[in-house]
Amino acid sequence: MQQLTHYLNGAHVNGTSGRFADVMNPATGEVQAQVPLASTAEVDKAVELAAAAQPAWAATNPQRRARVLMKFVDLLNRDMDKLAEALSREHGKTLPDAKGDVQRGLEVVEYCIGAPHLLKGEFTDSAGPGIDMYSMRQALGVTAGITPFNFPAMIPMWMFAPAIACGNAFILKPSERDPSVPLMLNELMEEAGLPPGILQVVNGDKEAVDALLHHPVVQSIGFVGSTPIAEYIYSTGCANGKRVQCFGGAKNHMIIMPDADMDQAADALVGAGYGAAGERCMAISVAVPVGDETADRLIEKLVPRIEKLKVGPYTAGNDVDYGPIVTAAAKANIERLVQTGIDQGAELVVDGRNFKLQGYEDGFFVGPHLFDRATPDMDIYQQEIFGPVLTTVRAQTYEEAIGLAMDHEYGNGTAIFTRDGDTARDFANRINIGMVGINVPIPVPLAYHTFGGWKKSVFGDLNQHGPDAFKFYTRTKTVTARWPSGIKEGGEFSIPVME
């Protein structure tokens, strides 16, 4: 059985804690590798190595740092197939979806190549008599990120690319469920010319997380995962004086107006609700048709599309629409919530409970489910299911529909499908949700905008990637300069005023 490692100071390093986690093949239910779970001492060593390497990297000019990222992009493209295969093998998502995972991370790296421009400060000439003022963006030092299983390539790159472009060292604690791709990314970064110690991968569980949260040298923490853990990491990190950004759960609504193109809306819902087996924080999990006639037409369009979905292992290639759930425990939780929805009175229109795949009976596969006539008090509406389950909640008016999304505790993403510009504009302006799609089902911003939700989907003031990333991973220093020429003799005892 394969034994995975940490990656410290430019080399693969075996774990020394004596603790390991199984890395499963979700399609077969078999253990395919073991990953070490770092002790506090191992995390401390990673921080020590990062702190030693970081000053020289921060002193490297931004253009040279950007050249490393340029080379890294070339290497990502070279190894795209290899990365996607490793990602699919551990996560279970299809190969096209795995390549999309890598590609969306690559696009953030491309944006970060603009670091020489993005790190420029401001300058004011002659702010006062013989006085100039200017600002600089300077690296924080040692930074860290804790990333989830569902995007083992994209989200690590969303974090470490801007952190490193800004001159920081970065310690990545990836999910122990699919750790191979983060290790491969570290190898490619060093092949691209990154000095040893600037990017470290430390595999682990809560002990490693707590070690990072409490370590006095670690200046910032990024996290993506569930809301309860996001709240814990945010509060603990802030209490320890760190800069923290945490992204939590979601329950994304898509409102379908009576004038919407119903075929377009149905296609969008199937892709956004069932792609990657629903294991996306931006998946559409709630459809809100406005009016019973709209709802009936929508359900009529959805059912045959959902029933035709092909579920299987990534090795089946393009014949598969989505693969297995990442773990047996996650599968069991989805099945529990489906049964709860039935017990609480929702109508199960498409029933995927009896789905079996010949030859893969021990895999973590879940068939597609579609609920209709759910209500906001039901668990399937309130909780993030994170599986191939689409819940329909009928609204009688636009105001009722928009109120459902606005009243939910999560505010990650939302969408509206309509042909009416006034309705779309009103929706975009009023909705209290961070990312909005208009006839776009999964409104994930491109790399040069920022990604982030509202309400209990986010903790912290700054979003991921885009301009916010360069603000998060730097501190601003402002300098006021006056040179000896023309300075009057004698001390000044009042607050200086720029006349």
**3-class secondary-structure state, position 149:** coil
Pairing of strands 169-173, 142-146: parallel
Sheet with 243-247, edge to edge strand ranges: 11-13, 6-8, 199-201, 169-173, 142-146, 218-224, 243-247, 458-459
Instruction: Report the 3 state secondary structure along 482-499.
Output: ECCCCCCCCCCCCCCCCC
In the annotation, is 281 catalytic?
A: yes
Which of 19, 454, 487, 462 is closest to 207 using CA atoms?
19
Eight-class DSSP state of 458: E
- Paired residues of 237 in beta bridges: none
Could you count the other beta carbons within 10 Å of the beta carbon of residue 210? 16
Q: How many beta carbons lie within 10 A of that of residue 102, not counting itself? A: 24
Q: Is the separation of the CB atoms in 344 and 325 below 8 Å?
A: no
CB 306 within 8 A of CB 370: yes
Residue type for 93, please? Answer: K
User: How long, in residues, is the chain?
Assistant: 499
Q: Which of 112, 166, 246, 281 does the annotation list as catalytic? A: 281
Q: How far is CA 324 from the centre of its chain?
A: 20
Mark 6-45 as b/e (b = at least 16 C-beta within 10 Å).
bbbbbeebebeeeebbebbbbbbbeeebbbbbbbbebbeb
Closest CA to 453 of 156, 153, 249: 249
- Do the beta carbons of residue 102 and residue 158 sit within 8 Å? no
Give dist(CA 211, CA 214) in Å, integer.
5
Backbone angles phi, psi at 251, to 5 degrees: -145, 85
Q: Is 454 left (phi over 0), alpha (psi -120 to 50) or beta?
A: beta
**C-alpha to C-alpha distance for 229 and 206, rounded to whole angstroms:** 10
Quick one: angle between helices 180-191 and 80-91, nearest 10? 160
Dihedral, 377, 381, 384, 389 alpha carbons, nearest 10: 150
Distance CA 371, CA 338 (A): 9
Task: Give the C-alpha separation, 351 to 370, whole Å.
Answer: 7
Q: Catalytic residue positions? A: 281
